[in-house]
Copies of this chain bind each other. A is one copy, B any other.
Amino acid sequence: MTAMKPALLVVDMQNDFVLPDAPAAVKGAAATIPRIKAVLDRFRRSGWPVFHVVREYRADGSDIEISRRDAFLAGPGYVISGTTGAEIVRALSPESGEYRIVKPRFSAFFGTELELILRRLAVDRLVLCGTQYPNCIRATAYDGLSHGYPVLVITDATSASDDQVAEANIRDLRNVGIRCVSFEEFDRSIGG
């Protein structure tokens, strides 16, 4: 029997998206930090690969989505490369041997080296958590499935601006066969 080889993708848990007073705060994100830490611990204990997927923008707006550019340039900006706001929240800091992937768009696969590394590591399934459901989580989940990976989202380690948005997205994800389960359920299913 071949052992399974899941990879964990922790998405966008950066100061500017997570800290309650941050410029682009996602309301539900801060509350998920302890649960994401538990997921991280589980992967670290098993020696499975961990990817910290983050968003960064250039301050001049040259690489932001066209629909967001004007508002970004009119304000102080957010997740600008090299700023504290772009850093991963302290409690979830990457450890040695983990991967940091900068994504220029919603999906962790779009314009990044993620798929190259997943293949090199012979990863056979993806586990997602982080923020936020409708955008980066969802785009990454669909792309992961499109690349042929079974995808699982840990619901209590993933956030949105409110519960209604989270629930609507979970329903759509499940309809295409993306598993959405709690950390406890996930942990039990892998023989925690």
Contacts and interface: CB of A to CB of B under 8 A. Distances in A.
Contacts of A165: 168, 171-172
Interface string A45-73: 00000000000000000000111100000
A150 interface: yes
A67 B146 contact: no
For the complex formed by this chain, how many copies does it contain in all?
2
Contact of A65 (B106, B107, B110, B176): B176
Given A105-B146, A106-B142, A176 B66 contact: no
Contacts of A67: 145, 150-151, 176-178
Nearest to A125: B66
A146 B107 contact: yes
